[in-house]
Amino acid sequence: MFTEFKTAAKMERKGGSGKGEERQQRLCGSGAFGFPRAVADTTITASPGPADNRFPPQVKYIVGNEACERFSYYGMKSILALYITTVLLKTKDQATTIIHLFGFANYFMPLLGAWVSDRFWGRYNTILWISLFYCAGHGVLATSDLFGVEGKVYCLYAGLALIAFGSGGIKPCVSAFVGDQFKPTQSHLLQKAYGAFYFSINFGSFFSFLVIPRLAREASYAWAFGVPGILMAVATLIFWLGTKHYVRRPPSRETRTAGFLEVFVHAATAARGPGDRGFWAPARRTFSAAEIDAAASVLPILGVFALIPPFWSLFEQSNSTWVLQGEKMVPVPLTGMAATLLGWLFGKEISAEQMQSTNPMLVMILVPLLTLAVYPWLRRWVTPLRRIAAGMFVTAVSYVIVGYLQQRIEAGDKLSILWQIVPYVVLTLAEVLVSTTGLEFAYSQAAPTMKSTIMGFWLLTVAIGNLLVSAVTAFAGGGNHEASVTSGRFFFYAGLVAVVAVLFMGVAMLYRYRDQTSAAAHAAADNQRPAGGS
């Protein structure tokens, strides 16, 4: 959940550069796979006037919208695994496959949302209208209780499809829309705005992991799906209430620079002349030096990103196989002082679904700690890629712990659900090491005009990671439909990410960090001649 904010926030603070004091921030879309750059550029020009310390009042509508939307999404997702196995009577493997195919769609849809926003609707209309599909998806899930088991299954598929379209469609645009609200004289307030935005994400998800499972347990799944739907409707209403106050930028039908795929395909397919040397040589007759340098900056980063999906395969299972494991553990009853202090949140006991709240709580603690205290100290000795490799090893440790707990369960031991706190803590530390460092590395190494392309590829690593889980579940079960929640499967994933971590260490040692001065030199040369020359 940290990734969603961090990606856009990084682009806002480190987005493209231009002539003079102009800073072009490419905020919202992918630009990847030939899609246009997500939305019209938000151009902020440094103002000679005094800084404006007034916070744009309309930002509160967007932050409120985000808190409610994240509550609705993670609240629904928190109960999905047990709903599929206990109400729809599916196997654990089937539940795992469904959840991770949904995750794949959710992280693939930003490409579509970015394209629609850029070419047709703009950010405001994309968020507003796609949110209605999002609400409809929640409504389908909430009303599924009216049908039998077969009808509930169809409602699940339809509801998840609509939610994936809605959540994924607005994902690349909401945080960018925050940046649109700031004038050039208010640019120094952006960090505070994104801090509030980030807090709202974790605040909403933290409480959803506590409240919605309690509703499912003490009321019904209709209410447990219905309340997230109500919160999504409230999120849409809050967003709409700010309509008169927003700065709304129209979609741009042309991008200012050639996209990565356009330059790459031309270099790979164009006829080579006698003097062409190097992969990019044929493209130099069509594209500027800055555009080629920008496209070339992406390829090494893609080589790094190619090893990231296995991490997401493991991380994303904290909402699926870990919950299914927790179902076989002993819930913690709340009595005495614990019931007085925590009963209003947890109910009568702490359940497997509620253990998921550990992640957003720890993220809010670990990110400031690591960013402000640990990373500055480590930076002297440890490169970003080595931190990512360390994060992957930490991920493997979390799955060794989960595998050991599963072995105890399979042996007949009655383990308290609180034992899962240990792997959740370890996995959250791994998330912060891999996710924050990965984005920091990518944005420091990519050319300014490729920041949004990098966002698209980063989200795709999450999508591919989810797809990998579904593939492993489908083809590695050996006829055992409960194989996704076994000690052997958990140890397999631990070994997989450990092997990837070793490979990543090799990448870290071989990777040559990009010298940004070359990009600046190309840009300066391009300013002396018409764009598109060579």
- Token couple for 461: 């690593």
Place of tokens 């194989």: 483
pLDDT for residue 531 is more than 90: no
Helix residue ranges, H only, 316-415? 321-326, 336-346, 358-369, 375-378, 384-410
Question: Which amino acid does the sequence have at 345?
Answer: L
Res. 518: pLDDT tops 50: no
Spatial distance between the Cα atoms of 277 and 68, rounded to a whole number of angstroms: 54
**Region 333-345: what's the mean pLDDT?**
77
Residue 436 has pLDDT above 60, yes or no: yes
pLDDT one-digit tens code per residue, 215-234: 999 989 999 999 999 999 99
CA-CA distances (angstroms) from residue 58 to 13, 63, 238? Answer: 20, 9, 11
C-alpha distance across the termini of the chain, in Å: 43
Average pLDDT (55-62) is: 88
Query: In Å, what is the CA distance from 386 to each residue of 221, 370, 379, 381, 519?
Result: 44, 15, 10, 10, 25
Q: For the residues 118-144, what does the mean pLDDT come to?
A: 92
Q: Which two tokens stand for residue 89?
A: 């009577």
Using a 10 angstrom Cβ sphere, with 0-12 exposed, 13-18 middle and 19 or more buried, the burial of residue 277 is exposed
Where helices occur in 79-148 by DSSP H, the ranges are 80-82, 92-116, 122-142
Is the pLDDT reported for residue 530 higher than 80? no
Helix axis angle for 59-78 and 122-142, nearest 10°, is 30
Mean pLDDT, residues 504-526:
65
Residue 340 has pLDDT above 70, yes or no: yes
Taking 80 as the threshold, does the pLDDT of residue 148 lie above it? yes
How many angstroms separate the CA atoms of 100 and 473, rounded? 10
pLDDT band at residue 49 under the 50/70/90 scheme: low
410 or 507: whose pLDDT is higher? Answer: 410
For 42, which DSSP code? E
Amino acid at 273: G
pTM attached to this predicted model: 0.81
Averaged pLDDT score across all residues of the chain: 81
pLDDT in tens, 307-331: 999 999 999 999 999 999 999 999 9
Domains in the chain with CATH codes = 2-18+25-42+55-262+289-526 (1.20.1250.20)
Of 304-318, 380-394, 503-517, minimum mean pLDDT range: 503-517
Sorted by sequence, the CB contacts under 8 Å of residue 178 that are 6+ apart come out as 12, 59, 62, 63, 193, 194, 197
φ and ψ at 241, to 5 degrees? -60, -25
Distance of CA 521 to the CA centre of its chain: 33
Highest-confidence range of 148-152, 360-364, 509-513, by mean pLDDT?
A: 148-152
Q: How far is it, in rounded angstroms, from Cα 90 to Cα 75? A: 21
Per-residue pLDDT band at 247 (split at 50, 70, 90): confident
